């Protein structure tokens, strides 16, 4: 353990955790540099640094600042949001399958966004984001109420969520086939998940909302972490169990929904990131910072791969995360 005392305040960190997080942050910086340097028009490191500091040629500065940097920031911040959201729901359900994309909250956000785009006929980012957040929150509340039986059990929560997700997939399909071809094509393209059409106009509100939600998660984290001791122990420590669960559910859904609103549904990052973080850090409980860093690394790496082979980031995460999901199901089956 590493201990730091400032006045009467004492901080303690696990040395392994600090080393792993530092290594992950270094990997994130390397990926970020590669994202800014590599592309159709390749740049060297000095050109990137010059552009970021406001110097260099106009075309290089425009390429780095206006085109590549917003996409990079979206991937990093989106990965942070999905990693934290996945950690919240896996802790809530006490199950590695407890992810917003598996439970169906992604589908609910997608439904809300499709209603805004196809039924209301709006292309406003603000309205689409609002629809995605509202759809995700309503889906979470429905799953929560349907799975609540004198308390919340993780397995029931996941099964109900999968059922609600299947229902919402049917609604989404109906919305797509019952609208015009051009609108449906745009909605389907958005549904693959991509950062290619995003700029600072979408990045600024996304970052502001994220910076509002994350402190709320940090504030509620202490009581939520005590839930891992069990409901009885948490109640004995003064935690209002159901209110704490509902608060973290809404915050977790909001984190997923803002990513869906900006870039479309990006699957499996929320599932994979907390599990990878837990195995690297060997954390016994809720570890939101590590999950956030791993989520950022995974999503930025997926976007980098997608740019190189000319496919959307959502397709890359489906391929990589789907393989992990299959392995996780097989592993859990053998364990049982």
Evaluate whether residue 129 is within a structural domain.
Answer: no
Evaluate whether residue 274 is within a structural domain.
Answer: yes
Average pLDDT, stretch 83-99? 84
pLDDT at position 157:
82
Residue 97 scores a pLDDT above 80: no
Question: How many domains is the chain partitioned into structurally?
Answer: 1
pLDDT at position 8:
67
Residue 67 scores a pLDDT above 90: no
The answer to whether 79 and 299 are in contact (CB under 8 A) is: yes
Each residue's pLDDT tens digit, 180-204: 777 777 777 777 788 887 888 888 8
pLDDT at position 237:
63
The answer to whether 265 and 109 are in contact (CB under 8 A) is: yes
Question: Which range of residues forms the domain containing residue 273?
Answer: 2-102+194-335
**Percent of the chain scoring above 70 in pLDDT:** 88
pTM given for the model: 0.87
- 156 burial level (CB within 10 Å; 0-12, 13-18, 19+): middle
- Output the six-digit token pair for 229: 């001791």
The answer to whether 108 and 140 are in contact (CB under 8 A) is: yes
Evaluate whether residue 212 is within a structural domain.
Answer: yes
Average pLDDT, stretch 5-18? 71
pLDDT at position 74:
93
Predicted confidence band of residue 76 (pLDDT cuts 50, 70, 90): very high
Residue 114 scores a pLDDT above 70: yes
**What CATH number corresponds to the domain at position 204?**
1.10.3470.10
- Output the six-digit token pair for 135: 């759809």
The answer to whether 266 and 193 are in contact (CB under 8 A) is: yes
Evaluate whether residue 327 is within a structural domain.
Answer: yes
**Cα separation, 300 vs 66, whole angstroms:** 18
Average pLDDT, stretch 129-142? 85
- Distance in Å from the first CA to the final CA of the chain: 35
The C-alpha torsion from 248 through 73 and 71 to 255, rounded to 10°, is: 0
Q: What is the DSSP letter of 9?
A: E
List % helix, strand, coil for the chain (3-state, nearest 5).
80, 5, 20
Evaluate whether residue 148 is within a structural domain.
Answer: no
**Cα separation, 303 vs 321, whole angstroms:** 13
DSSP assignment string, 28-67: HHHHHHHHHH-SSS---HHHHHHHHTT-S-HHHHIIIIII
The answer to whether 285 and 94 are in contact (CB under 8 A) is: no
- Output the six-digit token pair for 306: 């997608």
Average pLDDT, stretch 38-47? 84
Evaluate whether residue 159 is within a structural domain.
Answer: no
- Output the six-digit token pair for 233: 């122990």
Evaluate whether residue 118 is within a structural domain.
Answer: no
**Which region holds residue 322: left if phi is over 0, alpha if psi is between -120 and 50, else beta?**
alpha
pLDDT at position 96:
77
Residue 117 scores a pLDDT above 80: yes
Average pLDDT, stretch 123-140? 83
What residues contact 324, with CB distance under 8 A and at least 6 apart? 268, 271, 272, 275
Evaluate whether residue 38 is within a structural domain.
Answer: yes
Residue 228 scores a pLDDT above 80: no
Average pLDDT, stretch 148-163? 78
The answer to whether 230 and 250 are in contact (CB under 8 A) is: no
pLDDT at position 145:
84
């Amino acid at each position: 353990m590493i201990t730091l005392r400032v006045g009467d305040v004492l901080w303690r960190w696990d040395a392994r955790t600090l080393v792993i997080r530092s290594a992950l942050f270094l990997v994130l910086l390397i990926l970020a540099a590669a994202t800014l340097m590599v592309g159709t028009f390749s740049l060297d490191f000095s050109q990137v640094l010059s552009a970021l500091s406001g110097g260099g040629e106009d075309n290089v500065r425009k390429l780095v600042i206006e085109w590549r940097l917003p996409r990079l920031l979206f991937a990093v911040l989106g990965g942070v949001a999905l990693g934290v959201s996945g950690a919240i729901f896996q802790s809530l359900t006490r199950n590695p399958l407890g992810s917003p994309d598996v439970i169906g909250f992604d589908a609910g956000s997608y439904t809300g966004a499709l209603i805004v785009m196809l039924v209301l006929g709006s292309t406003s980012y603000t309205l689409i984001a609002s629809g995605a957040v509202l759809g995700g929150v309503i889906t979470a509340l429905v799953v929560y109420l349907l799975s609540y039986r004198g308390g919340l059990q993780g397995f029931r929560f996941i099964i109900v969520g999968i059922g609600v997700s299947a229902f919402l997939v049917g609604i989404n399909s109906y919305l797509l086939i019952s609208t015009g071809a051009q609108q449906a094509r745009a909605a389907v393209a958005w549904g693959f998940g991509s950062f290619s059409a995003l700029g600072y106009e979408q990045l600024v509100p996304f970052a502001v909302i994220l910076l509002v939600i994350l402190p709320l998660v940090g504030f509620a984290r202490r009581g939520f972490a005590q839930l891992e001791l069990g409901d009885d122990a948490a109640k004995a420590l003064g935690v209002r169990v159901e209110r704490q669960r509902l608060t973290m559910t809404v915050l977790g859904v909001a984190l997923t929904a803002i990513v869906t609103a900006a870039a479309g549904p990006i699957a499996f990052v929320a599932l994979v990131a907390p599990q990878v973080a837990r195995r690297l850090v060997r954390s016994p409980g809720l570890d939101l910072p590590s999950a956030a860093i791993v989520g950022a690394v995974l999503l930025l790496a997926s976007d980098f791969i997608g740019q190189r082979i000319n496919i959307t980031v959502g397709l890359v995460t489906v391929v990589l995360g789907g393989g992990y999901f299959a392995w996780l199901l097989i592993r859990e089956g053998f364990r049982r």
